[in-house]
Structure 1
Amino acid sequence: MYRTHNCGELRIKDVGKEVILSGWIQKIRNLGSLLFMDIRDYFGITQLMISKKLVKKNFLLGKEFIIRIRGKVVERFSKNNNIPTGEIEISVSHIDLLNSSLPTPFTIEDQTDGNEEIRMIYRYLDMRRNPIKNNLIIRHNLTLEIRNFLSENGFLEIETPVLINHTPEGARSFVVPSRIHIDKFYALAQSPQLFKQLLMIGGIDKYFQIVKCFRDEDSRSDRQIEFTQIDCEMSFVEVHDVLVFFENFIKHIFKKIKKIQLDPFPCISYSNAIKIYGTDSPDIRFGMPFIELNDLVKKKDINFLKTQELVIGIKIKKYHNIYDKIDFFLKKIENDNFFWIKYLCDQTLLSSNQSFLNKKILEIFVKYFKAIPGDFLFFSYGKKRKTREKLGEIRLKIADFFNLKNSKIYQPLWITDIPLLKWDKQFKKYKSVHHPFTSPKEEDIHLLKTNPKKIRSKSYDLIINGIEIGSGSIRIHNKNIQNFIFKHLGFSQKEIESKFGFFIKAFEYGVPPHGGIAFGLDRLVNLMEEDKNIKNFIAFPKNNYGKDVMINAPSFLEKEKLKELHLR
């Protein structure tokens, strides 16, 4: 028997019991005739009290050696209130060495001395530490709650193929050569998009899958080349139905996992998000919407501004307590089409450009913004798109500098009416903003012939604290519209048949109105746990260059293998 109890369960009520424990040696403290050791397993840590004679007689021990001990539970003289087993210890009567260990490349402690690269090389050691182990437990609990909620609400979990055909549009695919079918390739699925739509055509009412997806893109701290989606689809729904259900889904997850009751999710259009925040994924925790000032500068005849295509500003309230730091921050964000106004506590007005901002103009802006002493005003002007983008970037830098992003607060919102198409200057053709199967709004379909860039789609993104957590749409269920979209994307009839023939054929047999959404599981758990690196919630992640440094993947193939795959 390796154990009668685990290393995290014994308590003061167990004093007097004879027990067997197995685990890794966490610490060794030599007190002369006695050794005190901490033994650790998945469940926790227990202190051992061992006679030095008992150890000397047998073998040497070190950190991360695996041992099995037999002994009696006794009350601990010097109690440790930081661990659940801190009131007891084990008086060891017998010890076996199960396995030895080399010195570890970093300390197996909550606060380790290992950097990210070395910890990823030895990931199996890293997950012995509580932070990584607990993250994997949290991910498991979240996944379990997701499965239970969706299953209880009529969703059927169905697996879809991973090895599929490469289809144009979207991100770059990973390709897999076929050994049997010479010169032919599979692609790893970027998402189950077409298959989940085919499930709806097949009469499945609600589908979900927690699924691995693959995109041959640059990795980042918030994105991996292989990632996990919570993929969902529903029949006979419109935008409102999807938003209501999945708002309740996210609220349920936060309440069960985080004990947080989220407020109702506001819903704003894509165009308003760009107009008000300069981005399609705004963080609304700290307010600071853009105020348009074109009418004001024309009315007040402010010469250098009234000719600009757009003039916008934002206000930051009462941050007079860091005047000594603000100058350093302001130097970092200055540019040609930007200025600021400080309203000091003594009612003095200072500006970044005294040459064209006289006192009268400063007072006009202060009055319009209803600023009070201690406030800051920031302005941007120029071409509409660039001006909004620039002030959007400044807004986020301000929030970081002033510590306005409270990680304990979660403020989700839906972004809707996202453009259906965008113009690709490089290839001189339209591309889908989401994917080619997204339905246009009925009232915009006529624009397919006249102004495709103005078409709004029946799509929606879920943004939480400025991070895109989910994205979805109502799908096209009309064959003619689907073909029309394909042709707008530059596909010939031959290409449509070659790449999507099976899908278009299914449209001949009655396609129900349907729609869905996919959430990034890695991002969701990362956000909920207030981390900035999704690698901390993935058992075996890739690094920021898409490489698995533990197993050294990707790697070269031997010539024989290349020949077998007809690649040589």
Structure 2
Amino acid sequence: MHRYRSHNCGELRAADVDTDVRLSGWLHNRRDLGGILFIDLRDHYGLVQLVARPGTQAAEALDKLTKETVVRVDGKVVSRGADNVNPELPTGEIEIEATEVEVLGAAQQIPFTINADDGVNEERRLEYRFLDLRRERMHRNIMLRSAVIASIRHKMTTLGFNEMATPILSATSPEGARDFVVPSRLHPGKFYALPQAPQQFKQLLMISGFDRYFQIAPCFRDEDARADRSPGEFYQLDIEMSFVEQEDVFQPVEKLMTELFEEFGDGRHVTSPFPRIPFREAMLKYGSDKPDLRAQLELVDITDVFADSAFKAFAGKHVRALPVPAVQDQPRKFFDQLGEYAIQHGAKGLAWVRVGADGALTGPIAKFLTEENVKVLTERLGLEEGHAVFFGAGDFDEVSKIMGAVRVEAAKRAGHFEENVFRFCWIVDFPMYERDEETGKIDFSHNPFSMPQGGMKDLEEKDPLDILGWQYDIVCNGVELSSGAIRNHEPDIMIKAFEIAGYDRETVEEKFAGMLRAFRFGAPPHGGIAPGVDRIVMLLADEPNIRETIAFPLNGNAQDLMMGAPTELEEVRLKELHLNVRKPQVK
């Protein structure tokens, strides 16, 4: 018999009764019923129940051991009997009559419960992540991640893509976030940057003559954590294709996502094909460029209705309306709670009216609406008996943010929200540039390497804020999975595009010397995208926090509490790297 096991803990069944077995695993739980010990033994594959009877070596050994001790157990498979079957376990028809136990790895008293959710805080869980990962939910999430990545690799190869690796140590790049930098020992005063994305290298692969590339790529960004963003590092499915237009990129990605979410979505429906929604339309209808289409409500721009209104709360402001059908049975509490929700998202309040049986509007602001206002609103919003309308007013971005959140919350509370579905969409036609509110400077709004839709002509003739880029996002259930673009592969257009954003020709030539040089030796039209692997798994696992799908994530302050990173360097190492550390003064 094998030194540690003849079977794993999850494979024994009724057909194995009377078999002598050897198992190894963690002591998951223990129950003492009149001197008879019942032990749950756990390994990677599952759980099995052991029985240790009084007076046996097994009982004496198991009675003294702490939970999570690693043991080897010899015994015989016996039937539990019809009355004692545990239908929740694949091994629930049998148990192991334990005869001998060997301790393989003793465990100290554990700091939190493994076999149940005891509400321990995240910082504690991350400090003891090796214990946290033993929990069933966490183990399942990490195995889901492994299976998803394996499936992605298979599907991408089937679609004709080739997996290739790109460098980790490279030069800094204006990707929109801060780089993690690595000092060079051989080149004093100079630094490498860890890639925010393999952007330039995957483009260079296309220029080198490769046609369809992909990579499960590690990316590094020195940015703050969010529920759907892990600080420090993350992984993305990096994709690039040659001789393509926008729809040519969409087709394989849409096929991949549909198949992937059908395979691992636990029966949840995947809506297909994915609608294409222009950025400005998304902001108007949904208040967001990553709309949750499970919410079956839309915002309506009614700014013109109140342009000359005497109602000061709306006059001269951007006004958005949210009509919500079938709320005639909702109590006043429904409206008050939505108002409180809007305030939590930055609103000063939430105006609303309700449509009665005669078509008349009632509610806090009904008295401020003229007959003409009511007529136009009724026609434009398609109002009928039982409708309610919520209003937001302010500047465009403020109203979009607030009413976008209210749209989803109202849909959930009023029964206009689809459950158990994955609603994808493409957001297209992003503006190439935006104006920085603080400095007034024109800057890139999305990907600086994108091709402007009108090429050089638009760059030279249009207001920068009116120029659209061949840029797109893929969104699922309100989560942005990825941004992508058709790339700017023409040197003169690229230089002009960067000049508009404040980079002179010399700076562009210096920062992107390798790419520009490559463009000047014959570059094909190309484009790509990079869906986030962590976010894909987060959606499939139905987890609200992305750290629940990563084996060893940093905490919200970008610290590794388990390994103690980041750490200080010894003086000898700093000297070797030609560095002096200047710490901020403590006030």
TM-score of the pair, normalised by structure 2: 0.90
Q: Tell me the equivalent position of 2:251.
A: 244
Task: Spell out the pairing of 1:311-350 with structure 2 (5 A cutoff).
Answer: 311-332=319-340, 333=342, 339-343=351-355, 349-350=361-362
Q: Tell me the equivalent position of 2:295.
A: 286
- Decide which of 250, 257, 264 is 1:257's aligned counterpart: 264
Q: Tell me the equivalent position of 1:31.
A: 33
Q: Tell me the equivalent position of 2:550.
A: 538
Q: Distance in 2 between matches of 1:165 and 1:360?
A: 61
Whether the aligned pair in 1 keeps the contact of 2:284 and 2:301 (CA below 8 Å) is no
Matched, 1:274 2:287: no
Q: Distance in 1 between matches of 2:108 and 2:481?
A: 42
Q: Tell me the equivalent position of 1:468.
A: 480
Q: SS state of the match for residue 164, structure 1?
A: coil
Q: Tell me the equivalent position of 1:440.
A: 452
Q: SS state of the match for residue 304, structure 1?
A: coil
Matched, 1:120 2:88: no
Q: SS state of the match for residue 551, structure 1?
A: coil
Give the partner amino acid of 1:480.
D
Q: RMSD of the alignment, in Å? A: 2.5
Q: CA deviation at 1:304?
A: 2.9
Q: Tell me the equivalent position of 1:491.
A: 503
Q: CA deviation at 1:127?
A: 0.9
Q: CA deviation at 1:307?
A: 5.1
Q: Distance in 1 between matches of 2:419 and 2:112?
A: 29
Q: Tell me the equivalent position of 1:13.
A: 15
- Decide which of 146, 152, 155 is 1:146's aligned counterpart: 152
Larger CA deviation: 492-501 vs 244-253: 492-501
Task: Spell out the pairing of 1:360-439 with structure 2 (5 A cutoff).
Answer: 365-366=377-378, 369-402=381-414, 404-426=416-438, 428-439=440-451
Task: Spell out the pairing of 1:73-112 with structure 2 (5 A cutoff).
Answer: 73-77=77-81, 78-112=84-118
Paired positions, count: 566
Q: Distance in 2 between matches of 1:91 and 1:171?
A: 59
Query: Aligned pair in 2 of structure 1 residues 359, 307: CA closer, same or farther (>3 Å)?
Result: closer
Q: CA deviation at 1:235?
A: 0.4
Q: Distance in 1 between matches of 2:135 and 2:489?
A: 50
Q: Distance in 2 between matches of 1:115 and 1:387?
A: 35
Larger CA deviation: 53-62 vs 273-282: 53-62
Q: CA deviation at 1:320?
A: 3.7
Whether the aligned pair in 2 keeps the contact of 1:329 and 1:401 (CA below 8 Å) is no
Q: Distance in 2 between matches of 1:402 and 1:214?
A: 41
Give the partner amino acid of 1:287.
Q
Q: Tell me the equivalent position of 1:560.
A: 572
Q: Distance in 2 between matches of 1:474 and 1:368?
A: 37
Q: SS state of the match for residue 163, structure 1?
A: coil
Whether the aligned pair in 2 keeps the contact of 1:234 and 1:516 (CA below 8 Å) is yes
Q: CA deviation at 1:28?
A: 1.5
Q: CA deviation at 1:251?
A: 1.0
Q: SS state of the match for residue 509, structure 1?
A: coil
Q: CA deviation at 1:503?
A: 1.2
Q: CA deviation at 1:433?
A: 1.9
Give the partner amino acid of 2:13.
R
Q: Distance in 2 between matches of 1:37 and 1:479?
A: 69
Q: Distance in 2 between matches of 1:519 and 1:419?
A: 21
Query: Aligned pair in 2 of structure 1 residues 343, 428: CA closer, same or farther (>3 Å)?
Result: closer
Whether the aligned pair in 1 keeps the contact of 2:127 and 2:562 (CA below 8 Å) is yes
Q: Distance in 1 between matches of 2:56 and 2:359?
A: 78
Give the partner amino acid of 2:322.
I
* CA displacement 1:409-465 (0-9 Å, x = unmatched): 211111111111222354554322222210001367334344112110011111111
Whether the aligned pair in 2 keeps the contact of 1:28 and 1:62 (CA below 8 Å) is no
* CA displacement 1:517-559 (0-9 Å, x = unmatched): 0101111111122221111100001111111111121122222
Q: CA deviation at 1:57?
A: 5.5
Query: Aligned pair in 2 of structure 1 residues 125, 405: CA closer, same or farther (>3 Å)?
Result: farther
Q: Distance in 2 between matches of 1:107 and 1:500?
A: 53
Query: Aligned pair in 2 of structure 1 residues 410, 445: CA closer, same or farther (>3 Å)?
Result: farther
Q: SS state of the match for residue 39, structure 1?
A: strand
Query: Aligned pair in 2 of structure 1 residues 273, 96: CA closer, same or farther (>3 Å)?
Result: same
Matched, 1:228 2:232: no
* CA displacement 1:154-180 (0-9 Å, x = unmatched): 111111011111123521101111122
Larger CA deviation: 448-457 vs 67-76: 448-457
Query: Aligned pair in 2 of structure 1 residues 418, 363: CA closer, same or farther (>3 Å)?
Result: closer
Structure 1, unpaired ranges of 5+: none
- Decide which of 512, 530, 533 is 2:524's aligned counterpart: 512
Q: Tell me the equivalent position of 1:179.
A: 185
Larger CA deviation: 194-203 vs 135-144: 135-144
Structure 2, unpaired ranges of 5+: 581-587
Whether the aligned pair in 2 keeps the contact of 1:320 and 1:345 (CA below 8 Å) is no
Q: Distance in 2 between matches of 1:521 and 1:277?
A: 25
Q: Distance in 2 between matches of 1:16 and 1:124?
A: 36
Query: Aligned pair in 2 of structure 1 residues 443, 556: CA closer, same or farther (>3 Å)?
Result: closer
* CA displacement 1:345-402 (0-9 Å, x = unmatched): 7988431235524788657645653434432111234544544444323323424544
Q: Distance in 2 between matches of 1:367 and 1:504?
A: 55
Q: CA deviation at 1:484?
A: 1.3
* CA displacement 1:86-123 (0-9 Å, x = unmatched): 11011112111112111111111243442222111111
Query: Aligned pair in 2 of structure 1 residues 386, 29: CA closer, same or farther (>3 Å)?
Result: closer
Whether the aligned pair in 1 keeps the contact of 2:243 and 2:524 (CA below 8 Å) is yes
Give the partner amino acid of 1:537.
T
Query: Aligned pair in 2 of structure 1 residues 423, 33: CA closer, same or farther (>3 Å)?
Result: closer
Larger CA deviation: 253-262 vs 231-240: 253-262
Q: Tell me the equivalent position of 1:4.
A: 6
Q: SS state of the match for residue 265, structure 1?
A: coil
Larger CA deviation: 147-156 vs 329-338: 329-338
Q: Distance in 1 between matches of 2:170 and 2:293?
A: 39
Q: Distance in 2 between matches of 1:167 and 1:501?
A: 12
Q: CA deviation at 1:54?
A: 2.0
Whether the aligned pair in 2 keeps the contact of 1:188 and 1:214 (CA below 8 Å) is yes
Q: Distance in 1 between matches of 2:385 and 2:525?
A: 56
- Decide which of 48, 52, 67 is 2:71's aligned counterpart: 67
Q: Tell me the equivalent position of 2:585.
A: none
Give the partner amino acid of 1:73.
V
Q: Distance in 2 between matches of 1:324 and 1:339?
A: 13
Q: Distance in 1 between matches of 2:504 and 2:304?
A: 48
Q: Distance in 2 between matches of 1:163 and 1:110?
A: 42
Q: Distance in 2 between matches of 1:383 and 1:486?
A: 29
Give the partner amino acid of 2:259.
H
* CA displacement 1:473-498 (0-9 Å, x = unmatched): 00012111112122222223332232
Q: Tell me the equivalent position of 1:129.
A: 135
Query: Aligned pair in 2 of structure 1 residues 293, 427: CA closer, same or farther (>3 Å)?
Result: closer
Query: Aligned pair in 2 of structure 1 residues 31, 343: CA closer, same or farther (>3 Å)?
Result: same
Q: Distance in 2 between matches of 1:30 and 1:44?
A: 22
Matched, 1:456 2:465: no
Q: SS state of the match for residue 52, structure 1?
A: coil
